[in-house]
Amino acid sequence: MKYDPYAPRRISLGDGRALHAAYILDAMQPYPGDPWWIVSEGIQPRFIVFRRNKEEYTIYDEFTGFGTYIPQKLLDNFYF
């Protein structure tokens, strides 16, 4: 991911778990099955992570259109 000084700024910090999970998922690209041009065009943010309820989060991949639920305890795992 590249720093863009003209990108819109956050007006609030938000959910730290969700932000960290999205950052890690974006930084670990490319994933198996991703087309070659994903890397050639530069790594772009593609994951949205948000709290679903008290115990779960939703991870949504904007590139594939796939979403899944993940327990909060897995996001809290040091090795996530």
**Annotated domain spans of the chain:** 16-38+45-75
Cα separation values, 41 from 30, 37, 78, Å: 11, 6, 31
Alpha carbons 62 and 80: distance in angstroms, whole number: 20
pTM above 0.85, yes or no: no
Instruction: Please tell me the predicted confidence (pLDDT) of residue 79.
Output: 85
Residue 76 has pLDDT above 70, yes or no: yes
| Per-residue model confidence as pLDDT tens digits over 4-55 | 889 888 788 889 999 999 999 999 999 998 888 877 777 788 999 999 999 9
Instruction: Judge whether 1 and 27 are in contact, CB under 8 Å.
Output: yes
Alpha carbons 1 and 44: distance in angstroms, whole number: 6
Helix (H, G, I), strand (E, B) or coil at 10: coil
**Which 8-state DSSP code applies to residue 4?**
-
